[in-house]
Amino acid sequence: MPIAIYPGTFDPVHYGHIDIATRAARIFERLIVAVYDRPLKNLLFSPQERVALMSEAMTDLPNVRVMGYSGLTVNFARQQAAQVIVRGLRVTYDFELEYQMALTNKKLAPDLETVCLVTSLEYAFLSSSIVKEVALAGGCIQAMAPPHVIVAIQEKLKKGARDSEAAQTRLTSRDWPT
Ligand code: ADP
- pLDDT score of 175 more than 90: no
* Pairing relationship of beta strands 84-89 and 3-8 according to DSSP bridges: parallel
pLDDT digits (tens, 9 = 90+) for 152-168: 999 999 887 777 777 77
In angstroms, the Cα distances linking 108 to 59, 75, 84, 103, 119 are 33, 9, 14, 9, 27
pLDDT digits (tens, 9 = 90+) for 93-135: 889 999 999 999 999 999 999 999 999 999 999 999 999 999 9
C-alpha of residue 17 to centroid of ligand 1, in Å: 6
User: How does residue 40 score in pLDDT terms, banded at 50, 70 and 90?
Assistant: confident
Q: What is the average per-residue pLDDT within 48-67?
A: 98
Residue 45 beta carbon below 6 angstroms from any ligand 1 atom = no
41 flagged as catalytic: yes
- pLDDT score of 177 more than 60: no
Q: What is the average per-residue pLDDT within 127-144?
A: 96
Q: Which of 65, 78, 90, 106 is catalytic?
A: 90
pLDDT of residue 171: 56
148 flagged as catalytic: no
- Atom number, ligand 1, closest to the C-alpha of residue 86: 14
pLDDT digits (tens, 9 = 90+) for 3-18: 999 999 999 999 999 9
Q: How many angstroms from the chain centroid is the CA of residue 93?
A: 18
Secondary structure (DSSP) of 115-153: EEEEPPGGGTT--HHHHHHHHHTT---TTTS-HHHHHHH
Angle of CA points 10, 13, 17, to nearest 5°: 90
C-alpha of residue 170 to centroid of ligand 1, in Å: 39
Average pLDDT score over the chain? 92
- Atom number, ligand 1, closest to the C-alpha of residue 10: 6
State the distance between the two ends of the chain, measured CA to CA, in whole angstroms.
72
Helix (H, G, I), strand (E, B), or coil: what is residue 39?
A: coil
- Atom number, ligand 1, closest to the C-alpha of residue 127: 20
Residue 47 beta carbon below 6 angstroms from any ligand 1 atom = no
Residue 16 beta carbon below 6 angstroms from any ligand 1 atom = yes
